[in-house]
Amino acid sequence: MSLVGKKAPLFNVGAVINGEEIVDTFSLEQYIGNKEVLFFFYPKDFTFVCPTEILAFQEKLAEFDKRGVQVVGCSTDTEETHLAWLNTEKDQGGIRSVTYPMVADVAKTIASNFGVLAGDWNYSEDGILQFDGTAIAYRGSFFIDKEGIVRHETINDLPLGRNIDEYLRIIDAWHHTQEFGEVCPANWEEGKDAMEATRKGVAEYLAAH
């Protein structure tokens, strides 16, 4: 069930911040009223596609900062495993140099509440509680506004890496709608024409393009 238009689920768990410090309590609540958030899940530390995405977010971090957006990553690994990976060099499969927060969803409740846990708990015919699926997160990404409302979400299956520039485009589109009251058509990018949310506006846009 989509979270778009709804409050992002709250949590308070351990995390690694600044690429080097473990904190026992981390929450997205600290950003409400101050910053927007791009909150993303990835499956697992010390894997293959995941470091390419995590480092790609870091490479674009200045662009997110310029737009007033805080990037936060999350997986079902422990904060100690996060820190070990952050201390591993890139040429050894590590993510050293990443500075944005990395949340530890050890209980898997955050992934479950955001709808990205790759499986679920069920009872067997013998009444034994067991997990069906893979107890890690899909590649879920959530753009959350300053009020804590989810404005965009995407969920990729485990093998499918994300395009980080697409999230910047979505953020630009959201900012445009908020500033000018226009809506953004297909393939819109910063600097292109948007349109009024009226039949006349649509007709004028289509005629011009």
Sorted by sequence, the CB contacts under 8 Å of residue 135 that are 6+ apart come out as 76, 108, 117, 118, 119
Q: What was the pLDDT predicted at 121? A: 86
State the burial class of residue 108 (Cβ atoms within 10 Å of its Cβ: 0-12, 13-18, 19+): middle
- Cα dihedral value 140, 145, 151, 156, nearest 10: -10
Q: What was the pLDDT predicted at 1? A: 85
DSSP structure string for 165-208: HHHHHHHHHHHHHHHH--B--TT--TTS--B-SSHHHHHHHHHH
Element (H, E) at 80: helix 79-86
Going along the chain from its start, the domains and CATH numbers come out as 13-162 (3.40.30.10), 163-209 (no CATH)
Alpha-carbon gap, residue 97 to 47, rounded angstroms: 17
Q: What was the pLDDT predicted at 93? A: 94
- Which residue bears the tokens 């709808």? 115
Catalytic residue among 38, 50, 86, 110: 50
Is 50 an active-site residue?
A: yes
Residues linked to residue 143 through DSSP beta bridges, in sequence order? 38, 152
Half-sphere exposure of 26 (CA within 13 A, CB side): 20
Of 96, 108, 102, residue with least CA distance to 16: 102
pLDDT, tens digit (0-9, with 9 covering 90-100), for 54-104:
999 999 999 999 999 999 999 999 999 999 999 999 999 999 999 999 999
Alpha-carbon gap, residue 175 to 169, rounded angstroms: 10
User: Which parts of the chain sit beneath pLDDT 50?
Assistant: none
Task: Give the amino acid at 87.
Answer: N
Q: What was the pLDDT predicted at 103? A: 98
- Which residue bears the tokens 């007709």? 203
> What is the reported pTM?
0.95
3-state class (DSSP) for residue 89: coil
Of 177, 157, 161, residue with least CA distance to 169: 177
